[in-house]
Amino acid sequence: MAKDEKTNVMRLLDRAKISYISHAYDPDPAMSGEEIAAILGEDSDKVFKTLVTRGKSGQYYVFVVPVKSELDLKKAAKVTGEKSIEMIRQKELLPLTGYIHGGCSPVGMKKAFPTFIHRSCEEFDHIFVSAGKVGYQIELSPEALIKVVKSEMADIIAD
């Protein structure tokens, strides 16, 4: 892919007139989120991963947390009002969201799911999330991300 190629996430942000900066890098399937942060030259607290879960009711939820953090499933259940929450299986990700593991973005999923972003995003002028393809990240303000995915901020990571 050319570094100037637009992903569907970028096209959606363009249509919504939301300002962002795209970043491309040579991906390695074994690369961690912290390694991606290092490639971007950014603090890993600013780089967020997108996790998709299912509640006991069968409803799906999306959680956006710093790459070095772990989603606390009890806190996640509490903010959603579910009795329990579990991660979906990797093979369910593509049919459900339209994204593959390592390239899942909270922006532009096949269907809009209730989305929660860890409240630490408030500490930064800009954060990074996947641009919808492995090897691409977008940098945008937390407010812009919250607006475009109609998300809520919450305390959802393990202490």
In a domain, 74, yes or no: yes
CATH number at residue 145: 3.90.960.10
**Residue-level pLDDT at 24:** 94
Task: Answer whether residue 117 is part of any domain.
Answer: yes
The verdict on residue 38 lying in a domain is yes
Q: Is residue 88 within 8 Å of 51, Cβ to Cβ?
A: no
At residue 5, the pLDDT reads 83
Q: pLDDT tens for the chain, 159 residues: list them.
A: 455 689 999 999 999 999 999 999 998 878 899 999 999 999 999 999 999 999 999 999 999 999 999 999 999 999 999 999 999 999 999 999 999 999 999 999 999 999 999 999 999 999 999 999 999 999 999 999 999 999 999 999 998
User: How many Å apart are CA 154 and CA 132, to the nearest integer?
Assistant: 23
pLDDT at 124: 97
Task: Please report whether residue 128 resides in a domain.
Answer: yes
pLDDT attached to residue 3: 55
Question: What is the spatial distance between Cα 54 and Cα 110, in angstroms, rounded to a whole number?
Answer: 16
**Would residue 3 count as lying in a domain?**
no
Chain centroid offset of residue 74 CA: 19
Residue 2 belongs to some domain of the structure: no
In this prediction, residue 27 carries a pLDDT of: 87
State how many domains the chain has: 1
Q: Is the dihedral of CA 151, 140, 40, 101 positive or negative?
A: positive
Q: Which residues constitute the domain of residue 80?
A: 8-154
The verdict on residue 102 lying in a domain is yes
